[in-house]
Amino acid sequence: MFEYFYHEILRKTVIAFGTLFNNITIKHTNSSDDVVSVIKVPLAYGPIQKFLARLEQSPNLSKSTQMTLPRMSFEFTGIVYDPSRKVTTTQQFTVKDATDGSITKKAYMPVPYNMQFELSIMTKLNDDALQIVEQILPYFQPSYNLSVTLVENGINEKKDIPVVLENVTFQDDYEGDFTTRRSLTYTLRFTAKTYLFGPVSSATSDVIRSATISYLTGTDTTNTTRELTYTATPRAIQNYTGTVLTNLSKDVSMTDTIINVEDGSTITNKTYIDIDDEEMYVTNINGNAITVQRGRDGTNIETHITGAAVKPITAADNLLVESGDDFGFSGSIN
């Protein structure tokens, strides 16, 4: 049922969220309103409890507090399915591969999920916290759009991800004597409305996925109903017999459409071949140089090294198609 794929969508969304707050600064002034210091607020990923524990357990109470506070941390806290943004699950979109215009990539529509984040602002002075918060809040009304390339893999799908500010809370946990450090904490909770994509495959034009028929018979337009039967013949997309025609005489990159083999006379034009489970269709043979169409019937385009076996896909392989194989087929209506 499942196959391996990884678009790094969750990771990209976490990184994009963090970049929103990595250039915040605060200023300190003297009694004459002259700026005496400008501090860039450090930002790190992690739970606020870790930073508070480090602050409280530090044995050196005499060092400059600016080395510790202010600081910000953010954390990815959860993910929830969002049914309000659901689209038809069987709907697909196709695009031309940016690296190879002859290949069409296809993918099902993405699944909407909401990612929850917490941004914590820790300061010693309340004015520092207010400066930071005021630099953030005006951008969220209540959302801010992040443009993220969610899927590369030939389709380069970029989407705007709304980041919604849900609420802001404040906590002053100062307790104890004069040797106890004070920490003012503002917590901002956000929701990022992202999308998760499934695997991306190559779409080819020679495999029939569905057919719709509309017709009239003769001059009688009152009866257009007719029983039809459809017969399909499975066609293998890989070699099952183990037969080897020849071997590659040169490495093949993902963009090559001409492959070099040791003996081109063993290959028949207008047939399918299998190299390392990538199905190719032979369109021309010139000595030992074979022109092919890559990644047929949704097989993955891969690199192949010298010596890789070139196997035929024949009628004998069609008889050995395994249950559940996503094969192409030819058929007729009777």
Average pLDDT over every residue of 282-306? 92
First and final CA of the chain: distance in angstroms?
Answer: 33
10 Å CB burial of residue 149 (0-12, 13-18, 19+) is middle
Higher pLDDT, 98 or 330: 98
Per-residue burial over 218-235, b = 16 or more CB atoms within 10 Å of its CB, e = otherwise: eeeeeeeeeeeeeeeeeb
Average pLDDT over every residue of 51-77? 65
Question: What does the pLDDT read at residue 93?
Answer: 67
- Among 26-35, 220-229, 260-269, the range scoring the smallest mean pLDDT is 220-229
Domain locations in the chain as residue ranges = 9-202, 230-333
Please check whether the two domains, 9-202 and 230-333, share a CATH topology.
Answer: no
Whole-number Å distance between alpha carbons of 289 and 291: 7
Average pLDDT over every residue of 193-218? 61
Class of domain 230-333: mainly beta
pLDDT of 74 above 80: yes
pLDDT of 175 above 60: no
pLDDT of 48 above 70: no
pLDDT of 232 above 50: yes
Q: Whole-model pTM?
A: 0.54
Please state which CATH number belongs to domain 9-202.
3.30.2000.40
Average pLDDT over every residue of 23-39? 89
Average pLDDT over every residue of 249-266? 93
Question: What does the pLDDT read at residue 67?
Answer: 43
Confidence of residue 242 (pLDDT cuts 50, 70, 90): confident
What percent of the chain has a predicted confidence (pLDDT) above 90? 40
pLDDT of 330 above 50: no
Instruction: Supply φ then ψ for residue 43, to 5 degrees.
Output: -125, 135
Higher pLDDT, 208 or 318: 318
Average pLDDT across the chain, whole number: 79
Instruction: Supply φ then ψ for residue 214, to 5 degrees.
Output: -135, 130
